[in-house]
Protein backbone atom coordinates (compact mmCIF):
# COMPACT_ATOMS: atom_id res chain seq x y z
CA UNK A 1 0.00 0.00 0.00
CA UNK A 2 1.24 3.49 -0.86
CA UNK A 3 0.48 6.22 1.69
CA UNK A 4 2.17 9.01 -0.22
CA UNK A 5 0.56 11.02 -2.94
CA UNK A 6 0.61 9.43 -6.42
CA UNK A 7 1.56 11.21 -9.65
CA UNK A 8 -2.07 12.21 -10.18
CA UNK A 9 -2.26 13.93 -6.81
CA UNK A 10 -4.24 11.24 -5.01
CA UNK A 11 -3.89 9.36 -1.75
CA UNK A 12 -5.96 6.30 -2.64
CA UNK A 13 -9.43 7.69 -3.35
CA UNK A 14 -8.71 11.11 -1.87
CA UNK A 15 -7.01 14.31 -2.99
CA UNK A 16 -6.86 15.69 -6.51
CA UNK A 17 -7.42 19.30 -7.52
CA UNK A 18 -11.06 20.39 -7.77
CA UNK A 19 -10.63 24.04 -8.63
CA UNK A 20 -12.31 26.68 -10.76
CA UNK A 21 -10.94 26.87 -14.28
CA UNK A 22 -9.53 30.32 -13.55
CA UNK A 23 -7.27 28.99 -10.78
CA UNK A 24 -5.80 26.31 -12.97
CA UNK A 25 -2.72 28.30 -14.14
CA UNK A 26 -1.70 29.17 -10.56
CA UNK A 27 -2.04 25.64 -9.21
CA UNK A 28 -0.45 24.14 -12.32
CA UNK A 29 2.58 26.44 -12.03
CA UNK A 30 3.07 25.26 -8.48
CA UNK A 31 2.50 21.60 -9.37
CA UNK A 32 5.07 21.69 -12.15
CA UNK A 33 7.73 23.34 -10.01
CA UNK A 34 7.41 22.41 -6.35
CA UNK A 35 9.40 19.16 -6.34
CA UNK A 36 12.09 20.58 -8.60
CA UNK A 37 12.50 23.65 -6.40
CA UNK A 38 12.51 21.64 -3.17
CA UNK A 39 15.28 19.45 -4.58
CA UNK A 40 17.56 22.40 -5.43
CA UNK A 41 20.63 22.51 -3.15
CA UNK A 42 20.22 26.28 -2.72
CA UNK A 43 16.63 25.90 -1.63
CA UNK A 44 17.45 23.13 0.84
CA UNK A 45 20.33 25.16 2.26
CA UNK A 46 18.21 28.27 2.83
CA UNK A 47 15.28 26.27 4.25
CA UNK A 48 17.48 24.34 6.68
CA UNK A 49 19.39 27.45 7.72
CA UNK A 50 16.18 29.32 8.57
CA UNK A 51 14.75 26.31 10.40
CA UNK A 52 17.91 26.27 12.50
CA UNK A 53 18.63 29.95 13.15
CA UNK A 54 15.17 31.49 12.94
CA UNK A 55 12.74 28.76 14.02
CA UNK A 56 15.18 27.19 16.51
CA UNK A 57 15.28 23.65 15.16
CA UNK A 58 15.91 20.87 15.84
CA UNK A 59 13.11 20.90 18.39
CA UNK A 60 13.96 18.66 21.37
CA UNK A 61 12.62 15.13 21.70
CA UNK A 62 11.93 15.13 25.41
CA UNK A 63 11.48 11.99 27.50
CA UNK A 64 8.55 12.84 29.80
CA UNK A 65 9.52 10.91 32.91
CA UNK A 66 6.62 11.67 35.20
CA UNK A 67 4.02 11.28 32.46
CA UNK A 68 5.66 7.95 31.54
CA UNK A 69 5.51 6.74 35.14
CA UNK A 70 1.85 7.62 35.40
CA UNK A 71 0.78 5.88 32.18
CA UNK A 72 3.34 3.05 32.22
CA UNK A 73 4.87 3.54 28.79
CA UNK A 74 7.95 5.39 27.51
CA UNK A 75 6.43 8.68 26.42
CA UNK A 76 8.46 11.17 24.41
CA UNK A 77 7.25 14.66 23.50
CA UNK A 78 8.36 16.22 20.22
CA UNK A 79 8.60 19.85 21.27
CA UNK A 80 7.14 21.84 18.35
CA UNK A 81 5.84 24.23 21.01
CA UNK A 82 9.38 25.57 21.36
CA UNK A 83 9.50 26.79 17.75
CA UNK A 84 9.45 30.51 17.03
CA UNK A 85 5.77 31.64 17.11
CA UNK A 86 4.90 28.69 19.34
CA UNK A 87 3.83 25.85 17.06
CA UNK A 88 4.67 23.70 14.06
CA UNK A 89 2.94 26.02 11.55
CA UNK A 90 6.11 28.06 10.97
CA UNK A 91 7.86 25.04 9.35
CA UNK A 92 5.34 25.23 6.51
CA UNK A 93 5.21 29.01 6.13
CA UNK A 94 9.02 29.22 5.93
CA UNK A 95 8.98 26.58 3.20
CA UNK A 96 6.20 28.26 1.24
CA UNK A 97 7.65 31.77 1.41
CA UNK A 98 10.91 30.42 -0.04
CA UNK A 99 8.89 28.61 -2.70
CA UNK A 100 7.03 31.86 -3.52
CA UNK A 101 10.33 33.72 -3.88
CA UNK A 102 11.70 31.08 -6.26
CA UNK A 103 8.51 31.39 -8.34
CA UNK A 104 9.05 35.15 -8.59
CA UNK A 105 6.06 36.11 -6.44
CA UNK A 106 6.06 39.38 -4.50
CA UNK A 107 2.70 39.24 -2.76
CA UNK A 108 1.37 36.68 -0.28
CA UNK A 109 -2.22 35.90 0.62
CA UNK A 110 -3.54 33.56 3.29
CA UNK A 111 -6.74 32.81 5.13
CA UNK A 112 -6.98 32.13 8.81
CA UNK A 113 -9.64 31.09 11.30
CA UNK A 114 -8.09 31.18 14.75
CA UNK A 115 -5.33 33.44 13.52
CA UNK A 116 -2.41 31.08 14.17
CA UNK A 117 -1.71 30.48 10.49
CA UNK A 118 -2.19 34.20 9.83
CA UNK A 119 0.48 35.00 12.41
CA UNK A 120 2.89 32.38 11.01
CA UNK A 121 2.36 33.81 7.51
CA UNK A 122 2.71 37.45 8.58
CA UNK A 123 5.92 36.46 10.39
CA UNK A 124 7.64 35.02 7.33
CA UNK A 125 6.41 37.91 5.14
CA UNK A 126 8.09 40.34 7.54
CA UNK A 127 11.19 38.17 7.43
CA UNK A 128 11.29 38.32 3.63
CA UNK A 129 9.93 41.85 3.14
CA UNK A 130 6.88 40.65 1.20
CA UNK A 131 3.43 42.17 1.06
CA UNK A 132 0.99 40.11 3.14
CA UNK A 133 -2.81 40.05 2.97
CA UNK A 134 -4.65 37.83 5.46
CA UNK A 135 -8.36 37.11 4.96
CA UNK A 136 -10.28 36.43 8.13
CA UNK A 137 -14.00 36.13 8.89
CA UNK A 138 -15.44 39.18 10.63
CA UNK A 139 -16.60 37.01 13.54
CA UNK A 140 -13.15 35.44 13.90
CA UNK A 141 -11.52 38.89 13.87
CA UNK A 142 -13.62 39.81 16.89
CA UNK A 143 -12.92 36.48 18.66
CA UNK A 144 -9.17 36.46 18.04
CA UNK A 145 -8.14 40.03 18.79
CA UNK A 146 -4.60 39.28 20.09
CA UNK A 147 -3.69 37.39 16.92
CA UNK A 148 -5.13 40.17 14.75
CA UNK A 149 -2.93 42.65 16.64
CA UNK A 150 0.11 40.41 16.11
CA UNK A 151 -0.52 40.25 12.37
CA UNK A 152 -0.84 44.01 12.18
CA UNK A 153 2.36 44.56 14.16
CA UNK A 154 4.10 42.24 11.72
CA UNK A 155 2.99 44.46 8.86
CA UNK A 156 0.15 42.39 7.41
CA UNK A 157 -3.16 43.74 6.16
CA UNK A 158 -6.06 41.85 7.72
CA UNK A 159 -9.12 41.89 5.46
CA UNK A 160 -12.48 40.94 7.00
CA UNK A 161 -14.66 38.42 5.15
CA UNK A 162 -18.17 39.81 5.45
CA UNK A 163 -20.20 37.15 3.63
CA UNK A 164 -21.88 33.93 4.80
CA UNK A 165 -21.17 32.86 8.37
CA UNK A 166 -18.20 35.30 8.43
CA UNK A 167 -15.79 32.55 9.54
CA UNK A 168 -13.04 30.41 8.03
CA UNK A 169 -14.81 29.11 4.93
CA UNK A 170 -15.82 32.63 3.93
CA UNK A 171 -12.24 33.81 4.41
CA UNK A 172 -11.14 30.93 2.17
CA UNK A 173 -13.55 32.07 -0.55
CA UNK A 174 -12.14 35.60 -0.38
CA UNK A 175 -8.57 34.34 -0.62
CA UNK A 176 -9.42 32.21 -3.66
CA UNK A 177 -11.13 35.19 -5.31
CA UNK A 178 -8.02 37.30 -4.69
CA UNK A 179 -5.78 34.62 -6.20
CA UNK A 180 -7.92 34.40 -9.32
CA UNK A 181 -7.59 38.18 -9.72
CA UNK A 182 -3.84 38.24 -9.07
CA UNK A 183 -2.48 35.13 -10.74
CA UNK A 184 0.95 36.44 -11.70
CA UNK A 185 2.52 38.11 -8.66
CA UNK A 186 0.70 36.33 -5.81
CA UNK A 187 1.27 33.09 -3.90
CA UNK A 188 -1.45 31.63 -1.68
CA UNK A 189 -0.01 30.08 1.49
CA UNK A 190 -2.33 27.31 2.71
CA UNK A 191 -1.75 26.46 6.36
CA UNK A 192 -2.49 22.76 6.65
CA UNK A 193 -2.16 19.52 4.67
CA UNK A 194 -5.29 20.38 2.73
CA UNK A 195 -6.25 22.15 -0.49
CA UNK A 196 -5.83 21.12 -4.14
CA UNK A 197 -2.83 19.02 -5.16
CA UNK A 198 0.08 19.80 -4.75
CA UNK A 199 -0.64 21.62 -1.47
CA UNK A 200 -1.21 18.60 0.80
CA UNK A 201 2.00 16.97 -0.41
CA UNK A 202 4.03 20.19 -0.33
CA UNK A 203 2.90 21.06 3.20
CA UNK A 204 3.57 17.47 4.32
CA UNK A 205 7.09 17.58 2.92
CA UNK A 206 7.84 20.85 4.73
CA UNK A 207 6.48 19.43 7.99
CA UNK A 208 8.30 16.11 7.47
CA UNK A 209 11.29 17.65 9.24
CA UNK A 210 9.44 16.62 12.42
CA UNK A 211 9.69 12.87 11.77
CA UNK A 212 13.13 13.22 10.20
CA UNK A 213 14.38 14.62 13.51
CA UNK A 214 12.46 12.08 15.60
CA UNK A 215 14.37 9.28 13.82
CA UNK A 216 17.86 10.44 14.73
CA UNK A 217 16.83 11.75 18.13
CA UNK A 218 15.27 8.42 19.07
CA UNK A 219 18.33 6.58 17.78
CA UNK A 220 20.45 8.65 20.18
CA UNK A 221 18.15 8.10 23.15
CA UNK A 222 16.71 4.62 22.61
CA UNK A 223 19.19 3.07 20.18
CA UNK A 224 16.52 2.64 17.51
CA UNK A 225 14.99 4.95 14.92
CA UNK A 226 11.43 3.67 15.00
CA UNK A 227 9.10 4.20 17.95
CA UNK A 228 6.25 1.77 18.60
CA UNK A 229 3.68 4.55 18.15
CA UNK A 230 3.49 8.11 16.87
CA UNK A 231 0.57 10.24 18.05
CA UNK A 232 -0.70 13.60 16.80
CA UNK A 233 -3.84 15.72 16.89
CA UNK A 234 -5.56 16.45 13.59
CA UNK A 235 -7.21 19.65 12.46
CA UNK A 236 -6.43 19.78 8.75
CA UNK A 237 -3.59 17.40 9.52
CA UNK A 238 -0.24 19.14 9.01
CA UNK A 239 1.51 18.42 12.31
CA UNK A 240 0.24 14.85 12.06
CA UNK A 241 1.40 14.45 8.46
CA UNK A 242 4.87 15.71 9.41
CA UNK A 243 5.05 13.45 12.46
CA UNK A 244 3.97 10.35 10.51
CA UNK A 245 5.77 10.99 7.22
CA UNK A 246 8.97 8.95 7.69
CA UNK A 247 7.05 6.17 9.47
CA UNK A 248 4.18 5.68 7.03
CA UNK A 249 5.88 2.73 5.38
CA UNK A 250 7.39 1.25 8.55
CA UNK A 251 4.71 -1.30 9.48
CA UNK A 252 6.02 -1.78 13.02
CA UNK A 253 5.24 1.85 13.85
CA UNK A 254 1.64 2.32 14.96
CA UNK A 255 0.02 5.56 13.88
CA UNK A 256 -2.54 7.21 16.12
CA UNK A 257 -4.59 10.17 14.88
CA UNK A 258 -6.57 12.21 17.40
CA UNK A 259 -9.61 14.24 16.42
CA UNK A 260 -11.74 16.62 18.44
CA UNK A 261 -15.02 15.10 19.60
CA UNK A 262 -16.14 18.47 20.95
CA UNK A 263 -19.08 17.91 23.29
CA UNK A 264 -19.28 14.27 22.10
CA UNK A 265 -19.50 12.45 18.78
CA UNK A 266 -23.30 12.28 18.84
CA UNK A 267 -23.88 15.71 20.35
CA UNK A 268 -24.10 17.63 17.09
CA UNK A 269 -21.21 19.76 18.42
CA UNK A 270 -18.13 17.93 17.19
CA UNK A 271 -15.24 17.98 14.72
CA UNK A 272 -14.53 14.23 14.52
CA UNK A 273 -14.36 14.08 10.74
CA UNK A 274 -13.19 10.47 10.32
CA UNK A 275 -16.28 9.26 12.21
CA UNK A 276 -18.88 11.78 11.06
CA UNK A 277 -17.50 12.70 7.65
CA UNK A 278 -18.50 11.45 4.21
CA UNK A 279 -16.68 11.79 0.92
CA UNK A 280 -17.02 15.22 -0.57
CA UNK A 281 -15.08 18.19 -1.85
CA UNK A 282 -13.76 20.94 0.34
CA UNK A 283 -11.00 23.48 -0.18
CA UNK A 284 -10.24 22.04 -3.63
CA UNK A 285 -9.73 18.39 -2.74
CA UNK A 286 -11.77 15.23 -2.38
CA UNK A 287 -11.69 14.04 1.20
CA UNK A 288 -13.86 13.21 4.20
CA UNK A 289 -15.94 16.10 5.42
CA UNK A 290 -18.84 16.72 7.72
CA UNK A 291 -21.90 17.49 5.65
CA UNK A 292 -25.68 17.30 5.63
CA UNK A 293 -27.62 14.82 3.46
CA UNK A 294 -27.80 17.37 0.67
CA UNK A 295 -24.09 18.10 0.80
CA UNK A 296 -23.98 21.34 2.81
CA UNK A 297 -20.94 21.61 5.03
CA UNK A 298 -21.81 21.16 8.71
CA UNK A 299 -20.42 23.76 11.13
CA UNK A 300 -17.83 21.91 13.20
CA UNK A 301 -17.27 22.55 16.88
CA UNK A 302 -14.31 22.10 19.20
CA UNK A 303 -13.07 24.07 22.19
CA UNK A 304 -9.75 24.32 20.33
CA UNK A 305 -9.88 26.70 17.40
CA UNK A 306 -7.17 24.79 15.52
CA UNK A 307 -9.17 21.53 15.41
CA UNK A 308 -12.45 23.24 14.54
CA UNK A 309 -12.38 22.25 10.84
CA UNK A 310 -15.12 20.34 8.99
CA UNK A 311 -12.72 18.34 6.79
CA UNK A 312 -9.45 16.48 7.12
CA UNK A 313 -6.43 16.37 4.79
CA UNK A 314 -6.67 13.73 2.04
CA UNK A 315 -3.69 11.78 3.40
CA UNK A 316 -5.54 11.25 6.65
CA UNK A 317 -8.78 10.27 4.90
CA UNK A 318 -6.70 7.57 3.18
CA UNK A 319 -4.98 6.49 6.42
CA UNK A 320 -8.42 6.18 7.99
CA UNK A 321 -10.04 4.27 5.15
CA UNK A 322 -7.14 1.82 4.79
CA UNK A 323 -6.85 1.33 8.54
CA UNK A 324 -3.15 2.30 8.53
CA UNK A 325 -3.87 4.80 11.31
CA UNK A 326 -6.00 4.28 14.37
CA UNK A 327 -8.35 7.24 14.80
CA UNK A 328 -9.45 8.30 18.25
CA UNK A 329 -11.69 11.20 19.24
CA UNK A 330 -11.34 13.18 22.42
CA UNK A 331 -13.90 15.50 23.99
CA UNK A 332 -13.34 19.08 25.14
CA UNK A 333 -13.40 18.08 28.80
CA UNK A 334 -10.93 15.19 28.39
CA UNK A 335 -8.59 17.47 26.45
CA UNK A 336 -8.76 20.25 29.04
CA UNK A 337 -7.95 17.80 31.86
CA UNK A 338 -5.02 16.39 29.88
CA UNK A 339 -3.67 19.92 29.34
CA UNK A 340 -3.84 20.64 33.04
CA UNK A 341 -2.23 17.31 33.84
CA UNK A 342 0.76 17.90 31.54
CA UNK A 343 1.23 21.33 33.09
CA UNK A 344 1.37 19.83 36.60
CA UNK A 345 3.37 16.69 35.77
CA UNK A 346 5.95 18.13 33.38
CA UNK A 347 5.83 21.93 33.68
CA UNK A 348 4.69 22.27 30.07
CA UNK A 349 1.43 24.12 29.27
CA UNK A 350 0.28 22.74 25.90
CA UNK A 351 -2.00 24.27 23.28
CA UNK A 352 -5.52 22.88 23.64
CA UNK A 353 -5.17 21.22 20.21
CA UNK A 354 -2.18 19.31 21.57
CA UNK A 355 -4.04 18.43 24.77
CA UNK A 356 -6.34 16.24 22.66
CA UNK A 357 -3.37 14.06 21.67
CA UNK A 358 -2.26 13.81 25.30
CA UNK A 359 -5.69 12.66 26.47
CA UNK A 360 -5.46 9.30 24.68
CA UNK A 361 -3.43 7.82 27.53
CA UNK A 362 -6.66 7.59 29.52
CA UNK A 363 -8.25 5.47 26.79
CA UNK A 364 -5.47 3.36 25.32
CA UNK A 365 -3.15 1.13 27.28
CA UNK A 366 0.41 0.64 26.10
CA UNK A 367 3.02 -1.93 27.13
CA UNK A 368 5.58 -0.66 29.68
CA UNK A 369 8.42 -0.73 27.18
CA UNK A 370 6.44 0.76 24.29
CA UNK A 371 8.06 3.94 22.98
CA UNK A 372 5.29 6.43 22.23
CA UNK A 373 6.16 9.74 20.57
CA UNK A 374 3.55 12.49 20.87
CA UNK A 375 3.69 15.59 18.69
CA UNK A 376 3.54 18.51 21.11
CA UNK A 377 2.23 20.72 18.32
CA UNK A 378 2.03 24.03 20.18
CA UNK A 379 2.30 25.97 23.40
CA UNK A 380 -0.65 27.01 25.54
CA UNK A 381 -0.01 30.76 25.86
CA UNK A 382 -2.63 31.55 23.24
CA UNK A 383 -5.16 29.42 25.14
CA UNK A 384 -4.60 30.82 28.60
CA UNK A 385 -7.97 32.59 28.68
CA UNK A 386 -9.77 29.39 27.72
CA UNK A 387 -7.94 27.46 30.46
CA UNK A 388 -8.71 30.26 32.96
CA UNK A 389 -12.43 30.28 32.12
CA UNK A 390 -12.69 26.50 32.11
CA UNK A 391 -10.90 25.81 35.39
CA UNK A 392 -11.89 29.10 37.07
CA UNK A 393 -8.19 29.74 37.73
C1 LIG B 1 -3.20 24.83 13.89
C2 LIG B 1 -2.82 23.92 14.98
C3 LIG B 1 -3.15 22.54 14.95
C4 LIG B 1 -4.00 21.92 13.88
O5 LIG B 1 -3.48 22.01 12.60
P6 LIG B 1 -2.87 20.76 11.82
O7 LIG B 1 -2.70 21.26 10.44
O8 LIG B 1 -3.87 19.65 11.92
O9 LIG B 1 -1.59 20.41 12.46
C10 LIG B 1 -2.70 21.73 15.98
N11 LIG B 1 -1.98 22.23 17.00
C12 LIG B 1 -1.65 23.54 17.07
C13 LIG B 1 -0.84 24.02 18.23
C14 LIG B 1 -2.06 24.42 16.07
O15 LIG B 1 -1.73 25.72 16.17
Q: What is the pLDDT of residue 167?
A: 85
Total domains present in the chain: 2
With bands split at pLDDT 50, 70 and 90, how would you rate the model's confidence at 366?
very high
Domain extent, residue 153, equals 11-50+88-203
Question: Is ligand 1 within 6 A of the CB of residue 190?
Answer: no
Q: 263 and 134, same structural domain?
A: no
Q: 245 and 140, same structural domain?
A: no
Q: What is the pLDDT of residue 305?
A: 87
Q: Is residue 6 part of a domain?
A: no
DSSP 379: B
Q: 284 and 236, same structural domain?
A: yes
How large a percentage of the chain has pLDDT more than 90? 92
Q: Is residue 5 part of a domain?
A: no
The length of the chain is: 393
Q: What is the pLDDT of residue 299?
A: 85
Q: What is the pLDDT of residue 14?
A: 98
Question: Is ligand 1 within 6 A of the CB of residue 354?
Answer: yes
116 CA to centre of ligand 1 in angstroms: 8
Domain end call among 164, 186, 203: 203
Residues acting as catalytic residues: 89, 111, 377
- Mean pLDDT for all residues in the chain: 96
246 CA to centre of ligand 1 in angstroms: 19
Q: 290 and 147, same structural domain?
A: no
Question: Is ligand 1 within 6 A of the CB of residue 116?
Answer: yes
Q: 126 and 26, same structural domain?
A: yes
Task: Decide which of 252 and 173 is more confident.
Answer: 252
- Report the residue among 378, 383, 386 best suited for mutation to probe ligand 1: largest number of ligand atoms under 8 A from its CB: 378
Q: Say whether 230 sits in a helix, a strand or coil.
A: strand
Phi, psi of 279 (to 5 degrees): -60, 135
Question: Is ligand 1 within 6 A of the CB of residue 233?
Answer: yes
162 CA to centre of ligand 1 in angstroms: 25
The CATH number that applies at residue 83 is 3.40.50.1100
Whether the CA torsion 356, 359, 360, 363 is positive or negative: it is negative
What average pLDDT does range 74-97 have in this prediction? 98
Domain end call among 143, 175, 203: 203
CB atoms within 10 A of CB 126: 15
How distant is the alpha carbon of residue 220 from its chain centre? Answer: 27
Q: 218 and 151, same structural domain?
A: no
Q: 75 and 43, same structural domain?
A: no
Question: Is ligand 1 within 6 A of the CB of residue 358?
Answer: no
322 CA to centre of ligand 1 in angstroms: 23
What average pLDDT does range 51-62 have in this prediction? 98
- Report the residue among 200, 377, 381, 384 best suited for mutation to probe ligand 1: largest number of ligand atoms under 8 A from its CB: 377
Model confidence at 143: pLDDT above 90: no
DSSP string, 70-137: HHTSEEEEE-GGGSGGGBTHHHHHHHHHHHHHHTT--EEEEEESSSHHHHHHHHHHHHHT-EEEEEEE
Q: 316 and 170, same structural domain?
A: no
329 CA to centre of ligand 1 in angstroms: 15
Interaxial angle between packed helices 41-50 and 89-102, expressed in degrees from 0 to 180 and rounded to the nearest 10: 140
For residues 392 and 388, give the distance between their C-alpha atoms in angstroms, rounded to a whole number.
5
Q: 163 and 238, same structural domain?
A: no
Amino acid sequence: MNYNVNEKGYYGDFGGAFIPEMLYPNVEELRQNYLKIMAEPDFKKEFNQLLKDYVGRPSPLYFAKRLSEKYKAKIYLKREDLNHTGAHKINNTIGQILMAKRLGKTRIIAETGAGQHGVATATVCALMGMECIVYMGEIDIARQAPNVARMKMLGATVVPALSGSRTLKDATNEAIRDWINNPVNTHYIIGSAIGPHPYPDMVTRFQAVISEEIKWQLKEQEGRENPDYVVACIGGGSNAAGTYYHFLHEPEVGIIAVEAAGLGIDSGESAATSVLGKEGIIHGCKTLLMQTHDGQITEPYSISAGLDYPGVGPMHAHLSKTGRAEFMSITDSDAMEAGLELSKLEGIIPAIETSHALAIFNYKTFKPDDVVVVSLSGRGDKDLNTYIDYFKL
